[in-house]
Structure 1
Amino acid sequence: MADVFEKRNFHISSLFPEILTIIFTHLDVRDKGRACQVCVAWRDAAYNRRVWKGVEAKLHLKRANPSLFPSLVKRGIRRIQVLSLRRTLKDVIVGIQNIESLNISGCFSINDTSISHALTREIPSLKNLNLSLCKQITDRSLEKIAQCLKNLEVLELSGCSNITNIGLLLISWGLKKLKVLNLRSCRHVSDPGIGHLCGVVHNSSQLNALESRPVPGNFELEFLGLQDCQKITDQGMKHVSGGLVNLKQVNLSFCGGITDSGIKFLSKMPSLKDLNLRSCDNVTNAALGYLSEGGSRLEAIDVSFCENVGDQGLHFLAQGMFSLRHLSLGTCNITDEGLLRVVNTLHEIITLDIGQCGQITDKSLCAIGEKWKHLKSIDLYGCTRITTFGLEKIMKLPCLNTLNLGLWHRKEEI
C-alpha cells in the first residue's frame, strides 16, 4: 500500500490539514494526544476544536504547568475531571474561564475554603458539577454554588455527609435550572429539606435566620437521587409528588423510612419513568398495587431485595404497568405463578433480573422464550432450579445479548 502511495506521489504528510482533522476525530483521547506530538503539522491539525469536541480532560494537578490550561483552551476543551489536586481549585476556574463541566469527585482535600476561593464570580458556562465524596464541604459551599453557578443543571453530592436541609434551602433559592441532583448518603437530609426543593416552607424561624427569602423550589428537576438517605420518610414523597412535576427518575434504594404510603404519592406522578426501590425493607406488594392503579407510566422499576414483594405484587404489575421495559426482582419471594402472569401480559420487557429467585423453574423460562421477543438481558444468578432445557429456550431469543448464570449448576434431566 505504501508503494502505491509513493508511485502516485501520495503520502500521509501530503494530506490537507482538513483531512487530517477528520481522521483525528475518530481517535480515542490518548491517541489524539499522541498525534499532537508527531510533528508541527499534525499538532496544528489535532488542535482543531472539532477533534476534541465533547472530550473530558482527566488531570493530575500536582505542580504548576503554565502551558496546560492555554493548551486545553486552544483545543476547545471545556470538560474537566480532576484526578488529584495539590494546587488550588481556583487555578482550574481561572485557567478555563468558559468551563462547562467540572468533576472533582474523590478529591478529599476540597473544603469550604477551596470552594470559596474558586467561586469569586458568576460562571454562567458551568452546567455540571460533581462533588461526590468531597466529605469536608458543608452548606457554606452550597451557598457559594447557589450564588455563582446559577445555570447549573447537574449537581452530584453523593457522600457529602455534612450537607443539611439548610443546604437544600440554599439550592432551592439559587439553582432554578437544576435537572439532576444526587444526594446519596447525605445522612442529615430529611423531609423538610426535600420540601425546600419542592417549594414548601416548613420553618419560619429558619427562614428568618436566612433573611426570609422566598423559596422558589427546583421545579425543573428530572432526576433525584436519595439512595441511603435514612431520614427520608413518606412525608418527603408527598412533597415530591406535589412539587416536582417534571421528575422522571427517583432513586430511593436503601431508604428504610419509605413505605407503601410514600409510593402511593409517587404513583400519581405522570412524568415518572424510573423508580428504584432496591432494599426498601418496608415496601410490600401494596406499593406495586398503588403504582398500577395510579395509571403509572413507569418504564423501569427495581424492587430487588424487597423481601415483602412476591407473587401478589407481580399480579398488580400485570394489571396496569403496560409501559414497563425494565424489571428487577432479585431475591424477591416470587414463584412461576407470579412471573408467568407478567410474562403473559407485559410483552415489551427488555431487561429482567430474577437473580437469586430460587423458586423460578424452566416453566417461566419457556414462557419467556416464547413471548418476550424483545428481551436483551436476563439475570439468572443463583436460580438453581433451572436446567439446560429452560436455558435452551432462552438462548433462542433473537435480541438476547446478556445472560448471567452465576452460581447456576447444571441439573441432569431424568
Structure 2
Amino acid sequence: MPGEAHISCLFPEILAIIFGYLDVREKGRAARVCRAWREASYHRSVWRGVEAKLHLRKANSSLFPSLVTRGIRRVQILSLRRSLSHVLQGMPNIQSLNLSGCFNLTDIGLANAFQHEIPTLIVLNLSLCKQVTDNSLWKIAQYLKNLESLDLGGCSNITNTGLLVIARGLHGLKSLNLRSCRHISDHGIGYLAGLSGETAKGTKQLEDLVLQDCQKLSDNALMSVAKGLLKLNNLNLSFCCGITDTGMINLSRMPSLRELNLRSCDNITDIGIAHLAECGGHFTTLDVSFCDKVGDASLGHLAQGMYNLTNMSLSSCQITDDGLGKLVRNLRSLTTLNIGQCVKVTDTGLALIADNLPRLRCIDLYGCTKITTVGLEKIMQLPCLSVLNLGLWHKR
C-alpha cells in the first residue's frame, strides 16, 4: 500500500543485522538478490564466527579474497586435491584450520604449507589424517607458536618424540586430543607435563586433554598429569585399559579437574571410585559407563564425596535401586543421569530419581529391561526433563 516502507528501503546496517540470523546457505542466497543486498551481506558482522567449508579442487582466484572481505577466519577443508599452501597464502589472518579426514594429507604437504610463522592460527584439527607423523609436529611447533587447540585424534603415527616437540614449542596449548595415538606412553605424558628433564617446559596451560584409547598408558602417566598439568579441567581416559584404581588417587588431588571420563576402563573398580571421591568435591562430570566392576558401593562413595556432580554416566554398570537411592538422595543437583543397560534398575529406582532430582534435564534408560510405564510416568513428571532416551524399550 502507498506510504508503507519496503524492505529495499532499509539501511544496509539493518539488513546486515537481519542477514546475521540466516544460516550460511541463506546468507549466500541473499547476496544474489540485488546489489544492495550483496553489499549488506558482505558486512563482517553477518559472517562473524562462520566456518567456511571448502573442497580444494580447481583454482578459483576469487574464493579467498571473497572470504577475507567477509571477515571469515575459520576454514574446514572437506577434500584436498590442491596444495594446502593456497589456503594459507590466500587467508593470511586465518584463525582456525580444520583438516579432519583429509586422508591424502602428508608431512610433505604440511611442510610446503607451513613455510613461515602464522601468529593468528590458534586452532588446528588434523584428526584422522593418518599419514601425518612426528615430522609435521616439528613444523607446527616452529611456525604455529600461538596454537591453543591441536587435534591429533586418530593420527596413529604420532609417537612420544612428537609429544616432546609439542612440549618444547607449544607452550600456550590449551586443548590437545591424542585419541588412538597408540604409540604414546607414560614417557610422552611426562614430556607434556614438563617432568622429563629434557629441556621441555611442557604444556602447562593445558585445560583439555583427550587420551582415549591410548593403550600404553599406565598409572604413572596420571602421576605426571597430576604433578605437571595443574590447570587441567577435562581429562578423557576412556578405553585406557592400563589405568587402575591406584591412578585415581592422583586425579582426586587435582583441584582444577572438573570432568573425568573413565568409560570402558576395565580395571577401575569400587575401590578406585572411593579414591576419587575422597577428595572429589571439585568434580562436576564423571563417566564410568561400561566399567563392569563399578557397583552400588561406588554410588555410596560418590554420594559422600562428589557433592558437586551435575552429570553422571553409569551405563551398563552393576548398580541396583539401593545404590541409586544413595546417589540421588545426596546429589540433588544432578541434571544428567545416564543409566542405560543397567538391567537391575526397576520402577523403584525411577521413583527415587523422580522424588529426589528436581533439576534433572536428561536421562538415558536405554536397555533398562525391568522398568515399566509405572516408573516412566513418575520420571515424566520431573519439571525440567527435556531428554528421555528409551531406545528399544517395549511397553509393559
TM range (shorter): over 0.9
- Does the Cα contact within 8 Å between 2:324 and 2:352 map onto a contact in 1? no
Instruction: Give the drift of 1:296.
Output: 3.8
Question: Once structures 1 and 2 are overlaid, which stretch shifts more, 12-21 or 22-31?
Answer: 12-21
Which position in structure 1 is the counterpart of 2:52? 57
Per-residue CA deviation, residues 154-197 of structure 1 (Å, 9 max, x unaligned), is 00000000000000000011111100000000010110000000
1:364 aligns with 2:334: no
Q: Does 1:169 align with 2:164?
A: yes
The counterpart of 1:32, out of the listed 27, 31, 35, is 27
Q: How many Å apart are 1:247 and its aligned residue?
A: 0.2
Aligned counterpart, 1:44: 39
1:327 aligns with 2:315: no
Residue 216 (structure 1) aligned with residue 201 (structure 2): yes
Q: Which digits, 9 at most, give the CA deviation of each residue in 1:373-398, with x for residues without a partner?
A: 00001101111111111111100000
Kindly state the Cα deviation for residue 9 of structure 1 after the two structures are TM-superposed: 5.2
Aligned residues of 2:343 and 2:369 also touching (Cα < 8 A): yes
**Structure 1 residue aligned with 2:192:** 197
Are the equivalent residues in 2 in contact too, given 1:147–1:174 (CA < 8 A)?
A: yes
Match of residue 130 from structure 1: 125
In 1, Cα distance between the equivalents of 2:261 and 2:390?
A: 23
| Candidates 219, 225, 235, aligned match of 2:210 | 225
**Counterpart amino acid of residue 13 in structure 1:** S
CA distance in 2, matches of 1:185, 1:197: 17
Work out whether residues 248 and 271 of structure 1, in 8 Å CA contact, stay in contact via their aligned partners in 2: yes
Counterparts of 1:188-337 in structure 2, within 5 Å, are: 188-201=183-196, 214-337=199-322
Q: Shift of the alpha carbon at 1:409?
A: 2.1
Aligned partner of 2:370 among 374, 379, 385: 385
Letter paired with 1:200: L
For 1:186, which of 177, 181, 188 is the aligned residue? 181
The answer for the alignment partner of 1:104 in structure 2 is 99
Give 1:146's aligned residue: 141
SS state of the match for residue 386, structure 1? coil
Structure 2 counterpart SS, 1:236: helix
Whether the aligned pair in 1 keeps the contact of 2:172 and 2:203 (CA below 8 Å) is: yes
Cα separation, 2, equivalents of 1:361 and 1:109: 51
Residue by residue, what CA displacement relative to the aligned partner does 1:8-63 show, whole Å, maximum 9, x if unpaired?
Answer: 15222222111111111111111001111111111111001010011000011111
How much does 1:198 deviate?
Answer: 0.1
Give 1:159's aligned residue.
Answer: 154
Query: What is the TM-score when the length of structure 1 is the normalising length?
Result: 0.94
User: What is the count of residue pairs matched by the alignment?
Assistant: 396
Distance 2:4 2:342 in 1: 67
State the Cα deviation string for residues 341-386 of structure 1 (Å, max 9, x = none). Answer: 0011110000001101111011111111111000001101111111
Aligned equivalent of 1:345, options 330, 336, 342: 330
Q: What code does the residue aligned with 2:45 have?
A: R
Deviation of residue 295 (structure 1)? Answer: 3.7
For residues 288-316 of structure 1, give each alpha carbon's deviation from its aligned partner in whole angstroms, at most 9, with x where no partner exists: 10111124411000000001000111111
| Cα deviation, residue 407, structure 1 | 2.7
2:31–2:41 CA contact under 8 A, matched in 1: yes
- What amino acid maps onto 1:162 in structure 2? N
Q: Alignment partner of 2:78: what SS?
A: strand
SS in 1 for 2:329: helix
AA matched with 1:47 = Y
Name the CA shift for 1:334/1:40 in 2 (closer, same or farther; >3 Å): same
Contact 2:27 2:41 in 1 (8 A): yes
Task: State the partner residue of 1:210.
Answer: none
AA partner of residue 188 (structure 1): H
Q: Contact conserved, 1:25 with 1:52, CA < 8 A, in 2?
A: yes
| Offset of residue 125 of structure 1 | 0.3
User: Displacement, 1:108?
Assistant: 0.8
Counterpart of 1:20 in structure 2 is 15
Matched letter for residue 38 of structure 1: V
Q: Structure 1, residues 268-325: CA drift from partner, whole Å, max 9, x if none? A: 1001000000000001011110111124411000000001000111111011110000
Amino acid at match of 2:383: P
Q: Distance in 2 between matches of 1:220 and 1:359?
A: 43
Equivalent position to 1:354, from 324, 332, 339: 339
Amino acid in structure 1 at the alignment position of 2:371: I
Structure 1 residue runs without a partner (length 5+): 208-213
Match in the other structure for 2:87: 92
Secondary structure at the counterpart of residue 231 of structure 1: coil
Q: What percent of counterpart residues are identical?
A: 59
Report if the CA contact (8 A) 1:269-1:296 is conserved: no
3-state SS of the aligned residue for 2:60? coil
Q: What is the CA–CA distance in structure 1 between the aligned matches of 2:75 and 2:392, rounded to whole Å?
A: 41
Amino acid at match of 2:362: S
Contact 1:384–1:407 (CA under 8 A) maintained in structure 2: no
